[in-house]
Amino acid sequence: MHILLFGKNGQVGWELQRALAPLGRITAVDFDSTDYCGDFSNPAGVADTVRLVNPDVIVNAAAHTAVDKAESEREFAELLNATSVAAIAKEAEALGAWLVHYSTDYVFDGSGERPWVETDATAPLNVYGETKLAGEQGAALCARHLIFRTSWVYAARGANFAKTMLRFGKERSEMSVINDQFGAPTGAELLADCTAHAIRVAQSRP
């Protein structure tokens, strides 16, 4: 199995390089890669990468993840989170490849008190959520696709809420944090392992 991984240096992408290794050969790229284009601000470039690599599975861990910043740079967020996703999905469909894509709980409106399920109606409240939902729709242009909606991802690598709280705990005698937001902290290592398992299962089916 040949796997093309976009976003190799992010929190999830870094763990995916480890988790996917037993499945076969990996071509891993990021926005600054030189052998192949991994820059999602260049839809034509990442589409070319899919054609050139000709993978069996594409795993997209690249995204614009700055929630607040997306409000002031909608076009850039749309380019990374939606337009380029659709571009690689079309190429994946042409190849008959699987496409694995990561989305977010921000596609929902946050109402209610129970955990969200896949069949709940989407209703994003901000630009980030809107662009990620558009990315899901783009990924669906490939019939053989898997979408993981994640929340509160943390890892030993990179910046995240868990690491920030640990640092503040060392630096400050007391902290003030919001108490009206609920989520499911998700370890990047676990997410990568679950992705590898899902790919194994998907590949074993006709």
* pLDDT at residue 142, rounded to an integer: 98
pLDDT score, position 157: 76
Phi, psi values for residue 84, rounded to 5°: -70, -30
What is the band of 165 on the pLDDT scale with cuts at 50, 70, 90? confident
Question: CA 101: distance to chain centroid?
Answer: 5
Model confidence at 81, pLDDT cuts 50, 70, 90, reads very high
Angstrom distance (rounded) from CA 128 to CA 71: 7
The edge-to-edge listing of strands for the beta sheet with 98-104 is: 25-29, 2-6, 57-60, 98-104, 145-150
Q: What is the mean pLDDT of residues 97-107?
A: 97
Q: Residue 115 pLDDT > 90, yes or no?
A: no
Q: What is the mean pLDDT of the chain?
A: 93
Residue 56 CA, distance from chain mean position: 18
Q: Given a cut of 90, is residue 184 above it in pLDDT?
A: no
Q: Which residue has better confidence, 113 or 117?
A: 117
Q: Average of pLDDT values for 127-132?
A: 97
Q: What is the pLDDT of residues 40-61, one digit of tens each?
A: 999 999 999 999 999 999 999 9
Q: Is the pLDDT at 25 greater than 80, yes or no?
A: yes
**Whole-structure pTM value:** 0.91
> Who wins on pLDDT, 51 or 172?
51
Instruction: Give 190's contacts (C-beta < 8 A, 6+ positions apart).
Output: none
Backbone φ, ψ for residue 2 (5° rounding): -110, 125
Task: State the catalytic residue, choosing from 102, 106, 128, 154.
Answer: 128
At residue 183, φ and ψ (nearest 5 deg) are -155, 180
Spatial CA neighbour of 136 closest among 110, 105, 112 = 105
Q: Which of 1-5, 25-29, 125-129, 167-171 has the lowest mean pLDDT?
A: 167-171
CA distance 173 to 178: 17
| 150 CB neighbour count, 10 Å cutoff | 15
- Cα within 13 Å of Cα(6), Cβ side: 34
Transcribe 9-51 into DSSP letters: TSHHHHHHHHHHGGGSEEEEE-TT-SSS---TT-HHHHHHHHH
**Domains of the chain from N-terminus onward:** 2-204 (3.40.50.720)
Q: What is the per-residue pLDDT for 179?
A: 77
Instruction: Tell me which of 161 and 43 has the higher pLDDT.
Output: 43
Average pLDDT over every residue of 65-70: 90
What local confidence, expressed as pLDDT, does residue 91 receive?
98
Asked if 11 and 155 count as a contact pair (C-beta separation under 8 A), the reply is: yes
pLDDT, greater one: 143 or 68: 143
For residue 199, what pLDDT is reported? 97
Q: Check if 128 is active-site.
A: yes
| pLDDT above 80: residue 131 | yes
